[in-house]
Amino acid sequence: MTGRLRGMSDLVDFGIPHPITPYPKLIINAAITGMVPSRKDSPYVPLSPAEIIDDALRCIRAGASIVHLHARDEDGEPTYRKDLYGRMIRGIRSHCPEAILCVSTSGRRHNTFECRSAVLELEGESKPDMASLTLGSLNFPEQASMNTPEMIEALALKMRQCGIIPEIEIFEPGMIHTAKVLIRRGLLTGPFYFNLLLGSLYSTPATLFDLSTMVQKLSPSVHWGAAGIGCFQLVMNTAAILMGGHVRVGLEDNLWYDNERQQLATNERLIQRIVRLSSEFGRVVAKPSEARTMMGFPVNKADC
């Protein structure tokens, strides 16, 4: 049999690429609000809990299976208040119980462990499925995002204790090394979902070369998604669809539908475009219950 293939299983073992070896269904993560956009920037950024619930439901019905949430206070400013997170989570779940809900532990405004970890204490119907965990410090145009090793380890430990899965945010290749250190030390235990965020002004450029380099540093067994900041969103999302990764899309990263900045985007339209592209490229979009199964979360109820 030397030099001859015996059957289809041999083809799969040799890693024949997509679409002969199909990619998994596409998980769309809707980052709908973020820390920075204000009502001045766009009328379409959802800010209040009611706006965020309504927009999240539109995104889930359009094809998102994860919703990445940031709370804003009555003045539209970022806040760590867990009562607001709880209200949003319960409001979305009451209509779409299978959606995977991810909260932010960002320290860009409030950088104490007590503030950043407060949302992890929510329980019952208010408990988030996932929480963001940025694996290093970096500069944004507005300010620095400080994530010391002590803070990262404390947040990772609390997530593990609370049964909340980290949304591992990676802005630089070195942060993947940090993830491996934390995995070896038992602070990150999986399931593993890596968000690779490229194109922010002072971190990794959003090129296909940079994205490929980061993906090659990951184990093939992890889930990863790509996000591009600003005009790089569509390029990085499309690259992820073609590479077998998943997608993070939404107004947190990009306010515009077009590169010429003539049309402000809505979260729903951005997701609808990803669904169209994914369909053209032969990737089926995962329903929330399917994303739960793929990521090893319990599946309880029907999709909305």
Q: Which residues bind Zn ion (CB under 5 A)?
A: 104
Residue with Cβ nearer Zn ion (133 or 240): 133
CB of 167 vs Zn ion, minimal distance in Å: 9
- Give the other-Cβ count within 10 Å of 211's Cβ: 24
Quickly tell me which residue has 């997701």 as its tokens: 271
Residue with Cβ nearer Zn ion (67 or 283): 67
Residue 78 is given by DSSP the state B
264-288 as b/e: b if 16+ CB within 10 A: bbbbbebbebbbebbeeeebebbbb
CB of 172 vs Zn ion, minimal distance in Å: 17
CB of 287 vs Zn ion, minimal distance in Å: 23
CA atoms within 13 A on the CB side of 205: 4
233-243 vs 208-216: helix crossing angle, rounded to 10? 50
Residue with Cβ nearer Zn ion (104 or 289): 104
Quickly tell me which residue has 């630089």 as its tokens: 172
Residue with Cβ nearer Zn ion (34 or 63): 34
Residue with Cβ nearer Zn ion (104 or 278): 104
Question: Counting Cβ atoms within 10 Å, is residue 219 exposed (0-12), middle (13-18) or buried (19+)?
Answer: exposed
Residue of this chain nearest to Zn ion (CB atom): 104
Tokens of 198: 């490229």
CB of 120 vs Zn ion, minimal distance in Å: 15
CB of 252 vs Zn ion, minimal distance in Å: 5
Task: Write out the H or E segment, with its range, that includes residue 40.
Answer: none
CB of 68 vs Zn ion, minimal distance in Å: 5
Residue with Cβ nearer Zn ion (227 or 295): 227
Residue with Cβ nearer Zn ion (104 or 238): 104
CB of 8 vs Zn ion, minimal distance in Å: 42
Residue with Cβ nearer Zn ion (67 or 214): 67
Rounded Cα distance between 75 and 147, Å, is 26
CB of 2 vs Zn ion, minimal distance in Å: 54
CA atoms within 13 A on the CB side of 276: 7
Beta strands in 160-231 (DSSP E): 165-170, 193-198, 223-228
* Nearest residue to 270 (alpha-carbon basis) of 224, 225, 292, 237: 237
